[in-house]
Structure 1
Amino acid sequence: MKARTAGIFAIGLIIRLACVLWAEYQDRTMPVKYTDVDYDVYTDASREILQGNSPFDRTTYRYTPILAYMLLPNVYLHEAWGKLLFVASDMIVGYLLYAILMMRAMPEASAINYTMWWLYHPFSINISTRGNADTVVVLLCLLTIYFLMKKHLVVAAVFYGLAVHFKIYPIVYALSFLVFLDEDYDSSIKPIQTTAGVAAKAWHWLNRTRLAFGLISGGVFVVLTAGFYLIYGYTFVFEAYLYHFTRTDNRHNFSMYFYDLYLRYGTNSGFVVGLVAFLPQFLTLFNISLRCGKDIMHAQFLLTMAFVVFNKVCTAQYFLWYSAYLALVLPTTDLKGWQGAAIIGAWFGGELHWLYWAYELEMMGRNTFFPIWVAGLGFFAVNIGIMALFIQSHHHHPLFARGMIVPLTKG
């Protein structure tokens, strides 16, 4: 690693540590807190564990118990422990992005330039230093890709199973991983004859690599989930997983379904609409996985973005999930400078438009639910346009060919 690369990482770390220190000051001296309210929930859940109780005795704790155990030092050491842990995860994500690009034969100078999209991204800095755990999930997802590229299938599968257990959304990557693990990834798998029957092709599709990855990752998820079920019972299963499928949020958010669900909140029809909202999301994810799975990083960028924009609840922290893949997909696009500027302008313009109406509601007390929904529709359209532009400008090719990583043709 060259001095410039090390310096860029060091500056990214210093910025994050400075934000953690600033949070200590702002939280104690200003009415508006820097720290995310969810961080207080995590800490309270950790305190419940130390008192011999369940982390789910803390209202609104809807995460794996692992998170509460990770943050036990928040209670007996220092309340900033978790933030430092999330900052460490954040920085490791940056290193993995850099390492993945280097594994694709990108020059170091170019690799670190693209990695800066993460290291200096306001979202990644803000979310980790405010005490949100989403960087941990992003880290687990990238560790899965990293170890697949290293051909450490078992390790990759363990990290993927842990990622899905930690937060359910990475389940959307499952089919893309299976599409990816074909004979191009494992060259010892012999191609099947085109004249083979349907049954033979189906059996060939279930190759040993796919079976191993699926069984190991699924096994990790089942063992962890079953273990915590035995300890904490149905409450754990509902709060950590089922709640997110049945959730119909009456609070304003970026989702295009927000206003309809708000008007139907607490009714049977609202519950049904919430379930129906999964259909277009599922069909989009299924199509992307089948068509783009062999180009796994491009596929997972699109899958994450589609999942977020089609979701029935969409908050700002979700944007972090697909921002993590920008460093990996930008090198394979033909986007011009003006197109990049237009994307950034449209995205932030759509978000700021929504935030204006949200401010009017929250701070001024005005009834702006309908304008918020209209702004959400506009933001949805912007995101769909961005996805279409990335698809159109992307160089589509598999990550692996004949068992070897395909080098990037653009750096």
Structure 2
Amino acid sequence: MEHRAWVLLAAAALLRFLLMGIGLYHDQNSRLKYTDVDYQVFRDGARNMAQVNPHAQTGAFPLWGKLLFGACDLLCGALLWKLLVLRGSNGLWSGLWLMNPLVLAISTRGSCDALQGVLVLATLLLLQNEAAPQLHRIGTDLMPTKQAKTVSSRTEIRTGSERLRPLEAQTGSSRVFGASVLFGLAVHMRLYPITYSLPIVLSLGLDQNSGNRNVNKRNTSGKGHNQWRSSSALQILNRFFSKDMLIFAVGSASVFLSLGLIFYYMYGEQFLNQWLLYHLSRKDIRHNFSPFFYLLYLSSDPGVEKGVMSSALGLTLLLPQLLLLIAASFAFRSDLPFCCYVHTHILVSFNKICTSQYFVWYVCFLPLVCARLSLSLTRAFVLLFLWFLGQALWLLPAYLLEFESVNSFFFIWTASLFFLIINCIILGQIITHYTPLQNTFTAGKWLRHKTD
């Protein structure tokens, strides 16, 4: 990485050390703790796994766990820098993560979201490395002339019509397998990245085969490269599957299932319930930005019949997410980082549970997205102001409920609806003003069209 990257990382590390020290002092001298309650859960869980007395030193807050999460925070920044440069953007955009007040607070309070971000971003980096030559070609084409010449002089450009040497093809498959291992681990740690499976598989399967056809076949009729000829069922299936897609699917599924079986063998039903089944029946009626919390609150009434109603409610809450995620997968699969951002924004906004920590899930993609946005500064500030306004309007009735015991559920629900509308507006504006970067195989098709 460049000298500027190390300076940015050093400044970010210094800020995190400072906040950890302030938090340690605050925890020792204030009744309202700076450290998140989840950090104590991590410590107790680690102590139980190590078979140490779970009741020993429960009042202490050692910094080693926070140092681990802080290091992951910095590693996220380094991965973002590499991804940005790989995509032809300025690496300094990674400062949106490294210097973000929300990210600083979440990691130094003891939340593990940065660890999840490392796994997801590393997965994308391995997949994007497969596309590096073509991504640089398109990235330089979109840059100003002087900047494009500078990047082109540093990077070996290969067109989409060039065949990979055997060693290069083997390296590409190794990257895909490495990405599948990291992705399986990411889904094991937290389930939400599983939604990225569809766009990744579509990119490695459908788009790769489509790109290969366009590069390696001449259309003698002159009617374009995208028309599919009638063929057998086997040929049709072959259009949707590729070697890389199968490697990724089998690799990630194997890691996910293997880890699940190992820990189930070690800890039994308790692990299965707390790892997976708990999320299916989870109902948070407080500290929840989602407008669906009110339905959960009403359905939690002891007088309400559970059974069929609970199942119908769960399906109703799942359908909007599912439909939007499928549509986004097909619409934005050619730019995986952006597609993952859209997926995460949809998932967080329309999920039945939504807390402040969930915002970090899509904030880690913001540097990659903002680097390719054509939003005016005024419009960007207005959207940011609306996002904070929505949270402020929610926090007021939530405070009255939590600390003053005022029945303000209806007002919280109204504020949650308003916040959902704001998030939809923000996502719509980002999609409208984003300049997509095509993936490897679409890039190959683009280059062929340009050269023909």
Q: Same fold (TM over 0.5)?
A: yes
Deviation of 1:403 (Å): 7.0
Is the contact between residue 144 and residue 156 of structure 1 (CA under 8 Å) also seen in structure 2? yes
Shift of 1:399: 2.7
> Do residues 400 (structure 1) and 440 (structure 2) align?
yes
Contact 2:24–2:61, Cα closer than 8 Å, also in 1: no
CA contact under 8 A between 2:12 and 2:98: conserved in structure 1?
yes
Q: 1:370 aligns with which of 373, 395, 410?
A: 410
Aligned to 1:272: 312
Q: Distance in 2 between matches of 1:405 and 1:318?
A: 37
Q: Secondary structure at the match of 2:371?
A: helix
Paired residue for 2:257? 222
Other-structure match for 1:389: 429
The alignment status of 1:164 with 2:198, answered yes or no, reads no
* Change over 3 Å in CA distance of 1:185–1:123 after alignment to 2: farther
Is 1:92 paired with 2:126? Answer: no
- The equivalent residue for 1:250 is 285
Determine if the alignment matches structure 1 residue 239 to structure 2 residue 269. no
Q: Which has the larger radius of gyration?
A: 2
Distance 1:50 1:385 in 2: 47
Aligned 1:11-410 pairs, distance under 5 A: 11-51=11-51, 79-106=62-89, 110-112=90-92, 114-151=93-130, 152-182=175-205, 189-190=212-213, 194-197=228-231, 199=233, 200-265=235-300, 267=304, 268=306, 269-270=309-310, 272-401=312-441
**Structure 1: which 5+ residue stretches go unaligned?**
59-73
Question: Could you tell which deviates more after superposition, 21-30 or 186-195?
Answer: 186-195
Q: 1:212-254: per-residue Cα shift (whole Å, max 9, x none)? A: 1000011110111111111111221121111112212232410
Cα distance in structure 2, aligned partners of 1:402 and 1:395? 15
| Corresponding letter in the other structure for 2:414 | V
Distance verdict in 2 for CA 1:256–1:402, change over 3 Å: closer
Instruction: State the AA in 1 paired with 2:98.
Output: L
**2-structure distance, mates of 1:139, 1:116:** 16
Distance 1:318 1:188 in 2: 36
In structure 2, what is the Cα distance between the partners aligned to 1:186 and 1:89?
A: 36
In the TM superposition, what is the alpha-carbon distance from 1:147 to its structure 2 partner? 1.0
Could you tell me which amino acid in structure 1 is paired with residue 244 of structure 2? T
- Sort the Cα spacing of 1:198 and 1:275 in 2 relative to 1 into closer, same or farther, 3 A: farther
TM-score (norm 2): 0.80
Partner deviation per Cα, 1:95-131 (whole Å, 9 max, x = no partner): 111110111233xxx321x111101111111111111
Counterpart residue identity of residue 194, structure 1: W
The higher relative CO (CA closer than 8 Å, separation ≥ 6) is in 2
> How far 1:357 sits from its partner (Å)?
1.5
The one-letter amino acid of 2:119's match is L
Higher mean C-alpha displacement, 133-142 vs 257-266: 257-266
Return the alpha-carbon distance in structure 1 between the equivalents of residues 250 and 406 of structure 2: 52
Partner of 2:133: none
Deviates more, 1:376-385 or 1:386-395: 386-395
Aligned length: 384
Q: Among all aligned residue pairs of Structure 1 and Structure 2, give the percentage whose two residues are the same amino acid.
A: 34
* Alignment partners' CA distance in 2, 1:161 and 1:360: 42
- Does the 8 A contact of 1:358 with 1:368 survive in 2? yes
Q: 1:226 corresponds to which letter in structure 2? A: L
Label 1:330 to 1:186 Cα distance change in 2 as closer, same or farther (>3 A).
Answer: farther
Which residue does the alignment assign to 2:220?
none
Q: Which residue of 1 aligns with 2:218?
A: none
After superposition, the Cα gap between the structure-2 partners of 1:348 and 1:230, relative to the gap in structure 1 and judged at 3 Å, is same
Which of 195-204 and 282-291 deviates more? 195-204
Going from structure 1 to structure 2, the CA distance change for 1:231 and 1:332 (only over 3 Å counts) comes to same
Structure 2 Cα separation of the partners of residues 254 and 11 of structure 1: 33
Partner of 2:158: none
Give the 3 Å change call, closer, same or farther, for CA 40–271 of structure 1 in structure 2. Answer: farther
Query: C-alpha deviations, 1:23-82, integer Å up to 9, x for none?
Result: 1111111010000001111111122223269xxx99xxxxxxxxxxxxxxx99x972111
**Secondary structure of the equivalent of 1:363?**
helix
SS of 1:395's equivalent? Answer: coil
Kept in 1, the 8 Å contact 2:372–2:435? The answer is yes
- TM-score normalised to structure 1 length: 0.87
Give, in whole Å, the separation in 2 of the partners of 1:126 and 1:38. 14
The 2-side partners of 1:406 and 1:347 are apart by 37
Deviations 1:359-385 (Å, cap 9, x if unpaired)? Answer: 122222222111111100000000001
Structure 2 stretches lacking a partner, 5+ long: 131-174, 215-225, 448-452
**What letter corresponds to residue 265 of structure 2 in structure 1?**
L
AA of the residue aligned to 1:373: W
Alpha-carbon distance in 2 for matches of 1:31, 1:198 = 71
CA distance in 1, matches of 2:203, 2:99: 30
Q: Which moved more, 1:12-21 or 1:362-371?
A: 362-371
Report the alpha carbon displacement of residue 405 of structure 1 after superposing the two structures with TM: 12
Q: Which moved more, 1:182-191 or 1:134-143?
A: 182-191
**TM-fit CA distance, 1:402:** 6.3
